[in-house]
């Protein structure tokens, strides 16, 4: 159509006027048509007609004004009218629903968009336009774009046909003879043919619609005008003309055959072939369209039909939505005719496949409703499979060895239910990834998770009976993937022994179900035993650990992690598995923290936290900063790896756990090694936070979680556990962090205890030099710890040579020994170290002169300096090893070279 | 000469004598402007008499601030000296003074400026004033001059290892200390006696203060920093010499190969390979300047002297205290 418009506006005026002219005549055409229609059909339509006419008249009038406005480039008017038109169209919605979208409406939409685009491109013209118009133009353009999205297929179809629409004149002459052969007068044929053609053009319209005439008449006139100049074109297009003609004849015949003639059955059957399926759009409700009336519908016919439909799959210009509709219709037919479950399953497979195909590219996600349809389909498919035990499905069944017909033999159908479910699950993940996690929509989508789980469960039971081990492993992994990150509240409550009284019936019913732990255990163990692909086993192990950790089964989780040796080779696996590994490690760390294993928690979280890219490593979001480093393609890939929001691990919780563990480790360590020039940092990140805190010119009360931890650290440095406690555990921190744990109270108690203990240690380290002796009773009172605890802590410190003191049992006091070097002595020691390295360096120079590495240089190896090496390399676990360790310094020096 | 009214003094040109007014001025200058490790500097004025350098006056350099970056120091000095001449004070530029922080003064800056002084006026000295020691009760003033050897090296700007080796200069003979004599007028001597009579016992016994760790700690810290620097220098030198020897080896190999090839060619009756510039093929690595390490060594030496002096004094004090305790 656009090209007609571009050639000149003459035809346009003609067209619009003709539309006007024809409208009143509409009843007449109906009369004519009614002659051809059977009576019962006529009856159903008659009621609607007057209302429809009225509505459509309104629409056409509006369209006319729009076209006029277009001609004089009055955009403001155009916009106004268009808005009115939209409203009018909305009003006539119920008619449209019944009749399909009228072609003239589609035509206007298409033309208007083309026209606007044209105007938009025309920069000069735009400049000349007055402000009002220009504004209206841009608004209208936006609007129509948005609006047209809903009619995409129709417009596309229209455009396609409009490109061919200069054919009819030729068609007329050539098809006349054919028409006569068909036993219908040429006149009526001519009258009918445009009607049919219009059907193909509008493609959404009902065949009996009298507006077709009106819609078409304009178009045919246009084509007339076009054809007058298109002699050459006609020649070049001859081939496609022929096809078109053939098509018209065929469709016409079909129509005829539907009326009276039975002998043309075969043609009707083939009607859908050759890529002309479009014609069938909107028809599917009437199954005779699919199969010629009276055809004996049996398995072979249906399969044939199915193949026909499928052949169009993937071809350009195939309307996917229509295809799905067709398949549905086919399924309905098959069901109606009791063709057996085999064929039904076959069709279902194909429906689901086409649903997946609906989205053109892999990256985009399915629309939620499409996906839901798919879900239903799979559900139905599983229903069928469960009901009929005699259906064999499998990917390895060849197309020709399928057995779809009802017979004594079991059905054999090609296809893999598992793949479909996996795909469905992936699509679900994609949908979740692409939904705003803070919207209601997300919650709605998330509700479907249960259904997904249900399907996976059903598939699981199905495959357990029928599938190969490989398939079982795969479906088990699916099941695991849906289970591992969920906290099992039922089991948790049960373990706490709170079962019963307070719960409603439903809850109780729910709690009847198996513990997720048991399920995980069973599934994972099966996979460990049977799986042969490394990936599934790795994932299963990780999920298993994650699940253990989530439910505070620390030792199981840790043992599994250590036994699996995943740390060694996880770097070779693909990114999603690595993300899973990171998630597991983090969960493990958090679990260790809950159990009070501070050191383990710190070690587990160190890798993730020290990089500062926790978000990225856990697949919970992309970092902005390396936007330049990756191109759009990489970004898309990375986006696909993201974990959906409901599976996220709270990053603030993670950081807080890490920082608090670092604080509990680092502060006493710092106090113990205050004078050690070469003390190593346990946690860089924690130090960074401390420095940030120090840099603040004015220190207000802490606001964020980090500030709380920093403030607490400062208090702890002074051994003031009460302040430290109040900074770590308070309203703000509770709501931000601690309440997120399932066993909040227990964790808090553990934390308080740890703070007390570590504060005591810090206090002793820091202030031991000012005491000659200190009563343990006082210490126990100061830190609110029981005597035995204090005793054990101090004893440990003494044993580890962290504290130079001895315990005096009768008086319950700690007697300090003055062995700590003073700062001057420390300094002198450091100087000695430095001088040592200086001498060594000097010797190297000397050696170089001599040309021999020997003499002085070997002295080191002979001396006792290096003998203590092992202990210090172990890091802080070795702890503080007493005051004077020349060897220690020496070793560190050497490792620097 | 007019300087005589200030007190008499007699030193050879290898010694410097001071009027007490100069000392007081320097101390005052530091008290007013220098804090902590900040350094104050000024110009010494005086004249050469026979073989003595007589320093009769001084004036401070103004403290630099950010906002008068275009301040012309030379201009200021000239102005100052002119003004002093107007009031009939010695205006001959004979050196400069600088305060020090725990004895740290051996630096490149000092070397450069002293070189330029000595280059212009042969007799000029640099006077180092240690306010901390002075505050502890013993006036610490030291006058230094660059040795003629160092002067030569500085003139040639040859700080390569070879250059220094040739000049056979070490950190010990970079500076020569010039003995100082402080001359007071009789009137001042009288005043001093009177003051000593009046001062309380506590004031006098400042010297006996036993708390030493602070001073020592600071010295050690500074010493350590220098030692670190020294280590770095050595590592630098080490890599240099290693590179050098490696290159030598390569060069040697190359030459040998060349020789062999030439011999072969000769036996085959071909023309020998053309001579190539070997120095172009093997560019010797840039030798690291050694002046810095010399200076650092000098500074370390200085610190060590300081610490030694300080500790020996303190040990004496400790023994004394012990003896006193024993008696009680």
DSSP for A249-316 reads: HHHHHHHHHHHT--TTHHHHHHTT-TT-GGGGTT-TTSGGGTS-TT----HHHHHHHHHHHHHTTT-T
Predicted confidence (pLDDT) at residue A69 exceeds the cutoff of 80: no
Tokens 């219009």 correspond to what residue? A198
Residue B327 has a pLDDT of 77
Residues A8, A247: Cα–Cα separation, whole Å: 30
Our CA-based measurement puts residue B216 at a distance from the nearest CA of chain A, in whole angstroms, of 7
Burial level of A395, CB count in 10 A (0-12/13-18/19+)?
exposed
From B160, B177, B116, select the one nearest B293 (Cα to Cα): B160
Predicted confidence (pLDDT) at residue A257 exceeds the cutoff of 70: no
CB distance B105 to B96 below 8 Å: no
Q: Which of A832, A834, A836, A889 to mutate to test the interface with B (most CBs of B within 10 A)?
A: A834
Q: Which of A830, A832, A848, A850 to mutate to test the interface with B (most CBs of B within 10 A)?
A: A848
Residues A348, A328: Cα–Cα separation, whole Å: 8
The residue that leads in pLDDT, A821 or A41, is A821
Q: Do A827 and B220 touch (CB under 8 A)?
A: yes
Predicted confidence (pLDDT) at residue B261 exceeds the cutoff of 80: yes
Residue A795 has a pLDDT of 92
Predicted confidence (pLDDT) at residue A284 exceeds the cutoff of 50: no
pLDDT, average across residues B279-300:
80
Alpha carbon of residue A207 to chain centroid: 42
Mean pLDDT of chain A: 70
Residue A296 has a pLDDT of 64
Q: Which of B210, B216, B219, B224 to mutate to test the interface with A (most CBs of A within 10 A)?
A: B224
Predicted confidence (pLDDT) at residue A870 exceeds the cutoff of 60: no
CB distance B290 to B237 below 8 Å: yes
- pLDDT band at residue A70, thresholds of 50, 70 and 90? confident
Q: Count the helices and strands in chain A (H runs, E runs).
A: 44, 5
pLDDT tens per residue across span B85-111: 888 777 788 888 888 888 778 888 888
Our CA-based measurement puts residue B196 at a distance from the nearest CA of chain A, in whole angstroms, of 36
Whether B239 and chain A come into contact, CB under 8 Å, resolves to no
- pLDDT band at residue A404, thresholds of 50, 70 and 90? low
B216 → closest Cβ in A824, A838, A841: A824
Residues A63, A57: Cα–Cα separation, whole Å: 10
Predicted confidence (pLDDT) at residue B71 exceeds the cutoff of 80: no
B241 → closest Cβ in A827, A837, A845: A845
* DSSP string computed for A854-889: -GGGGHHHHSGGGGGHHHHHTGGGG----S--HHHH
CB distance A834 to B224 below 8 Å: yes
CA-to-CA dists, residue A607 to A330, A594, A670, A682, angstroms: 57, 19, 21, 12
From B92, B113, B108, select the one nearest B49 (Cα to Cα): B92
pLDDT tens per residue across span B105-130: 888 888 888 888 888 888 888 888 88
Predicted confidence (pLDDT) at residue A674 exceeds the cutoff of 70: yes
pLDDT, average across residues A6-28:
42
CB distance A159 to A110 below 8 Å: yes
The residue that leads in pLDDT, A600 or B165, is A600
Residues A638, A419: Cα–Cα separation, whole Å: 23
Predicted confidence (pLDDT) at residue A170 exceeds the cutoff of 60: no
* Residue of chain B minimizing CA distance to A833: B224
pLDDT, average across residues A8-35:
42
Residues of chain A contacting B, Cβ within 8 Å? 822-824, 827-828, 830-831, 834-835, 837-838, 841-842, 844-845, 848-849
Residue A261 has a pLDDT of 42
Residues A12, A435: Cα–Cα separation, whole Å: 45
* Residue of chain B minimizing CA distance to A839: B231
Predicted confidence (pLDDT) at residue A843 exceeds the cutoff of 70: yes
Tokens of A112: 């208007």
What percentage of chain A has pLDDT greater than the value 90? 3
Mean pLDDT of chain B: 79
Residues A638, A620: Cα–Cα separation, whole Å: 10
Our CA-based measurement puts residue A842 at a distance from the nearest CA of chain B, in whole angstroms, of 7
State the count of interchain CB pairs (< 8 A) between A and B: 43
* H/E stretch holding A769: none
Residues A300, A406: Cα–Cα separation, whole Å: 11
Residue A39 has a pLDDT of 43
Residue A380 has a pLDDT of 82
Question: A159-186 b/e with 16+ CB inside 10 Å = b?
Answer: bebbebbbbbbbbbebbeebbeebebee
Alpha carbon of residue A299 to chain centroid: 39
Residue B166 has a pLDDT of 76
Contacts of A845 in chain B (CB under 8 A): 234, 237-238, 241
Calculate the dihedral angle through the C-alpha atoms of A787, A791, A793, A799, rounding to the nearest 10 degrees: 180
Q: Do A822 and B241 touch (CB under 8 A)?
A: no
Give the range among A331-335, A545-549, B266-270, B292-296 with minimum mean pLDDT. A331-335
CA Rg value for chain A = 40
Taking each helix axis from N to C terminus, what angle separates A238-259 and A186-202, rounded to the nearest 10 degrees?
A: 110
What percentage of chain A has pLDDT greater than the value 70? 64
- pLDDT band at residue A885, thresholds of 50, 70 and 90? very low
Q: Do A827 and B217 touch (CB under 8 A)?
A: yes
Residue A851 has a pLDDT of 60
Residues A722, A712: Cα–Cα separation, whole Å: 9
- Report helix, strand or coil for B97: strand
A284-293, A329-338, A852-861 — most confident range: A329-338
- State the pairing for strand pair A773-775/B125-129: unpaired
The residue that leads in pLDDT, B23 or A248, is B23
Q: Do A824 and B235 touch (CB under 8 A)?
A: no
Other Cβ atoms closer than 10 A to A154: 26
Whether B234 and chain A come into contact, CB under 8 Å, resolves to yes
B227 → closest Cβ in A824, A835, A848: A835
- Going by the DSSP 8-state scheme, the letter that residue A681 receives in this structure is P
Residues A198, A220: Cα–Cα separation, whole Å: 9
pLDDT, average across residues A174-181:
41
A848 → closest Cβ in B217, B231, B241: B241
Predicted confidence (pLDDT) at residue B190 exceeds the cutoff of 70: yes
pLDDT, average across residues A845-857:
62
Long-range contacts: B112-115, Cβ < 8 Å, 24+? B114/B144, B114/B145, B114/B146, B115/B146, B115/B151, B115/B154
Q: Do A827 and B224 touch (CB under 8 A)?
A: yes
Residues A693, A702: Cα–Cα separation, whole Å: 10
> Residue A545: which residues within 8 A CB-CB, separation 6 or more?
A557, A560, A561, A564, A584, A587, A588
Predicted confidence (pLDDT) at residue A663 exceeds the cutoff of 50: yes
Kindly report the backbone phi and psi dihedral angles of residue B122, in degrees, each rounded to the nearest multiple of 5, phi listed first: -65, -30
B217 → closest Cβ in A823, A842, A844: A823
Contacts of A838 in chain B (CB under 8 A): 227, 230-231, 234
Question: B160-188 b/e with 16+ CB inside 10 Å = b?
Answer: eeebbeeeebebeebbeebebebbbbeee
Predicted confidence (pLDDT) at residue A10 exceeds the cutoff of 60: no
Predicted confidence (pLDDT) at residue B57 exceeds the cutoff of 60: yes
Predicted confidence (pLDDT) at residue B249 exceeds the cutoff of 70: yes
CB distance B124 to B117 below 8 Å: yes
Residue A792 has a pLDDT of 92
Give the range among A132-146, A303-317, A875-889, B80-94 with minimum mean pLDDT. A875-889
The residue that leads in pLDDT, A183 or B206, is B206
Residues A622, A613: Cα–Cα separation, whole Å: 9
Burial level of A303, CB count in 10 A (0-12/13-18/19+)?
buried
CB distance A241 to A234 below 8 Å: yes
Tokens 């012309």 correspond to what residue? B72
From A525, A546, A435, A578, select the one nearest A482 (Cα to Cα): A546
- pLDDT band at residue A361, thresholds of 50, 70 and 90? low
Tokens of A815: 């007697």
- Going by the DSSP 8-state scheme, the letter that residue B61 receives in this structure is P
Can you give the pTM of this predicted structure? Answer: 0.54
Cα A253–Cα A259–Cα A265 angle in degrees, nearest 5: 50
pLDDT, average across residues B251-277:
81
Whether B244 and chain A come into contact, CB under 8 Å, resolves to no
Tokens 């774009």 correspond to what residue? A145
Predicted confidence (pLDDT) at residue A658 exceeds the cutoff of 70: yes
> Which residues are registered as beta bridge partners of B97?
B42, B127
- Report helix, strand or coil for B142: strand
For chain B, the residue count is: 328
CA atoms within 13 A of residue A433's CA, in its CB half-sphere: 22
Q: Do B227 and A844 touch (CB under 8 A)?
A: no
Q: Do B213 and A828 touch (CB under 8 A)?
A: no
Q: Do A838 and B235 touch (CB under 8 A)?
A: no
A682-686, A775-779, B177-181 — most confident range: A775-779
Taking each helix axis from N to C terminus, what angle separates A705-717 and A651-672, rounded to the nearest 10 degrees?
A: 20
The residue that leads in pLDDT, B313 or A236, is B313
- pLDDT band at residue A297, thresholds of 50, 70 and 90? low
> Residue A555: which residues within 8 A CB-CB, separation 6 or more?
none
Residue A194 has a pLDDT of 47
* Residue of chain B minimizing CA distance to A838: B231
pLDDT, average across residues A580-585:
90
Residue A314 has a pLDDT of 63
pLDDT tens per residue across span A118-142: 777 776 666 666 777 777 777 777 8
Contacts of A847 in chain B (CB under 8 A): none
Q: Do A827 and B231 touch (CB under 8 A)?
A: no
Residues A611, A605: Cα–Cα separation, whole Å: 10
B224 → closest Cβ in A834, A845, A849: A834
Residues A18, A32: Cα–Cα separation, whole Å: 19
- pLDDT band at residue A501, thresholds of 50, 70 and 90? very low
CB distance A196 to A256 below 8 Å: no
pLDDT, average across residues A686-706:
83
């Amino acid at each position: 159509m656009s090209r007609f418009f571009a050639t000149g506006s003459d035809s346009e005026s003609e067209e619009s006027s003709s539309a006007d002219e024809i409208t009143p005549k509409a009843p007449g055409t109906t009369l004519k048509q009614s002659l051809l229609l059977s009576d019962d059909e006529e009856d159903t339509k008659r009621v609607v007609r007057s209302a429809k006419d009225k509505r459509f008249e309104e629409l056409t009038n509006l369209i006319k004004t729009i076209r006029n406005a277009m001609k004089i480039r009055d955009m403001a008017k155009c916009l106004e009218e268009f808005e009115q038109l939209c409203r009018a169209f909305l009003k006539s919605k119920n008619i449209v629903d019944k009749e399909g979208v009228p072609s003239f409406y589609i035509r206007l939409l298409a033309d208007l968009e083309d026209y606007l685009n044209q105007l938009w491109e025309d920069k000069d013209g735009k400049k000349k336009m007055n402000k009002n118009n220009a504004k209206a133009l841009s608004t209208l353009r936006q609007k129509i774009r948005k609006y047209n999205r809903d009619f995409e297929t129709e417009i596309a179809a229209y455009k396609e046909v409009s490109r061919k629409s200069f054919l009819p004149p030729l068609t007329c002459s050539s098809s006349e003879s054919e028409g006569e052969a068909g036993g219908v007068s040429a006149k009526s044929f001519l009258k009918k043919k445009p009607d049919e053609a219009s059907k193909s053009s509008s493609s959404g319209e009902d065949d009996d619609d009298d507006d077709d005439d009106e819609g078409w008449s304009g178009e045919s006139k246009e084509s007339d005008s076009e054809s007058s100049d298109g002699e050459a074109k006609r020649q070049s297009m001859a081939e496609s003309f022929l096809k078109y003609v053939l098509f018209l004849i065929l469709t016409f015949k079909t129509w005829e055959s539907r009326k009276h003639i039975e002998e043309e059955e075969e043609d009707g059957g083939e009607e859908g072939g050759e890529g002309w399926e479009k014609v069938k759009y909107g028809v599917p409700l009437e199954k005779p369209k699919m199969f010629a009336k009276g055809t004996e519908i049996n398995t072979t016919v249906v399969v044939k039909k199915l193949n026909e439909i499928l052949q169009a799959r993937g071809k350009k210009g195939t309307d996917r939505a229509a295809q799905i509709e067709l398949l549905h219709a086919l399924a309905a037919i098959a069901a109606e005719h009791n063709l057996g479950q085999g064929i039904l399953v076959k069709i279902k497979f194909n429906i689901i496949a086409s649903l997946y195909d609906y989205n053109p590219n892999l990256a985009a996600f399915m629309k939620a409703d499409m996906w839901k349809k798919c879900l239903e389909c799979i559900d139905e498919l599983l229903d069928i499979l469960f009901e009929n035990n005699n259906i064999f499905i499998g990917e390895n069944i060849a197309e020709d060895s399928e057995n779809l017909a009802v017979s004594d033999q079991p059905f054999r159908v090609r296809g893999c239910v598992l793949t479909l479910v996996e795909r469905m699950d992936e699509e679900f993940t994609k949908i979740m990834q692409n939904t705003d996690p803070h919207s209601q929509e997300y919650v709605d989508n998330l509700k479907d998770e249960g259904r997904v789980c249900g399907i996976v469960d059903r598939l699981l039971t199905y495959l357990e009976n029928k599938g190969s081990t490989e398939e079982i492993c795969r479906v088990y992994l699916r099941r695991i993937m849906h289970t591992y990150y969920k906290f099992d509240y039922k089991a948790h409550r049960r373990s706490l022994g709170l079962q019963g009284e307070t719960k409603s019936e439903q809850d109780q019913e729910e709690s009847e179900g198996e513990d997720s732990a048991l399920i995980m255990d069973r599934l994972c163990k099966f996979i460990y035993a049977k799986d042969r692909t490394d990936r599934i086993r790795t994932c299963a192990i990780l999920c298993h650990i994650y699940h253990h950790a989530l439910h505070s089964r620390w030792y199981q989780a840790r043992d599994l992690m250590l036994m699996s040796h995943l740390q060694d080779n996880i770097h070779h696996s693909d990114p999603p598995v690595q993300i899973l590994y990171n998630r597991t490690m983090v969960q493990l760390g958090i679990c260790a923290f809950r159990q009070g294993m501070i050191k383990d928690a710190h070690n587990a979280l160190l890798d993730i936290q020290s990089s500062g890219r926790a978000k990225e490593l856990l697949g919970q979001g992309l970092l902005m900063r390396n936007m330049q480093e990756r191109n759009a393609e990489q970004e898309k890939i990375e986006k696909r790896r993201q974990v959906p929001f409901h599976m996220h691990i709270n990053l603030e919780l993670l950081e807080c756990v890490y920082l608090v563990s670092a604080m509990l480790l680092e502060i006493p360590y710092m106090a113990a090694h205050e004078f050690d020039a070469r003390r190593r940092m346990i946690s860089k990140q924690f130090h960074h936070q401390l420095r940030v805190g120090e840099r603040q010119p004015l220190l207000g009360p802490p606001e964020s979680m980090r500030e709380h931890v920093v403030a607490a650290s400062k208090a702890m440095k002074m051994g003031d556990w009460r302040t430290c406690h109040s900074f770590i555990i308070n309203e703000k921190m509770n709501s931000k962090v601690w309440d997120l744990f399932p066993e909040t109270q227990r964790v808090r108690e553990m934390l308080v205890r740890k703070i007390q203990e570590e504060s005591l240690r810090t206090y002793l380290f820091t202030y031991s030099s000012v005491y000659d002796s200190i009563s343990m009773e006082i210490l126990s009172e100061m830190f609110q710890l029981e005597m035995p605890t204090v005793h054990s802590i101090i004893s440990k410190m003494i044993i580890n040579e962290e504290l130079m003191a001895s315990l005096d049992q009768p008086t319950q006091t700690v007697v300090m020994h003055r062995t700590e070097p003073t700062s001057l002595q420390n300094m002198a020691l450091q100087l000695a170290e430095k001088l040592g390295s200086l001498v060594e360096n000097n010797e190297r120079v000397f050696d170089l002169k001599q040309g021999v590495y020997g003499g002085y240089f070997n002295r080191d190896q002979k001396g006792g300096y290096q003998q203590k090496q092992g202990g210090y390399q172990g890091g802080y676990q070795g702890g503080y090893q007493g005051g004077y360790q020349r060897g220690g310094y020496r070793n560190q020096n050497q490792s620097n070279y | 000469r007019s300087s005589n009214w200030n007190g008499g003094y007699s030193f050879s040109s290898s010694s410097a004598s001071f009027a007490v007014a100069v000392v007081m001025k320097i101390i005052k200058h530091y008290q007013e402007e220098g804090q902590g490790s900040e350094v104050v500097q000024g110009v010494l004025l005086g004249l050469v008499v026979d073989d003595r350098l007589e320093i009769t006056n001084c004036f401070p350099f103004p403290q630099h601030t950010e906002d008068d970056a275009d301040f012309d120091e030379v201009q200021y000095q000239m102005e100052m000296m002119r003004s002093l001449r107007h009031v009939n004070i010695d205006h001959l530029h004979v050196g400069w003074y600088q305060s020090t922080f725990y004895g740290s003064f051996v630096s490149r800056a000092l070397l450069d400026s002293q070189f330029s002084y000595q280059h212009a006026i042969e007799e000029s000295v640099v006077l180092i004033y240690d306010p901390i020691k002075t505050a502890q009760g013993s006036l610490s003033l030291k006058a230094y001059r660059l040795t003629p050897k160092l002067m030569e090296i500085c003139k040639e700007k040859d700080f390569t290892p070879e250059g220094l080796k040739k000049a056979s200069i070490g950190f010990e003979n970079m500076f020569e200390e010039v003995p100082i004599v402080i001359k007071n007028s009789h009137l001042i001597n009288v005043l001093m006696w009177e003051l000593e009579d009046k001062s309380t016992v506590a004031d006098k016994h400042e010297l006996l203060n036993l708390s030493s760790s602070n001073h020592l700690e600071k010295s050690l810290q500074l010493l350590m920093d220098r030692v670190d620097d020294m280590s770095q220098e050595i590592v630098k030198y080490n890599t240099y010499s290693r590179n050098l020897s490696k290159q030598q080896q390569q060069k040697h190999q190359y030459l040998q190969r060349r020789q062999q090839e030439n011999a072969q060619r000769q036996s085959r009756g071909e023309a020998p390979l053309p001579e190539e510039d070997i120095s172009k093929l093997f560019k010797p690595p840039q030798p690291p300047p050694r002046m810095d390490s010399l200076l650092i060594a000098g500074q370390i030496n200085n610190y060590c002297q300081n610490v030694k002096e300080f500790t020996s004094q303190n040990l004496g004090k400790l023994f004394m205290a012990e003896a006193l305790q024993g008696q009680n």
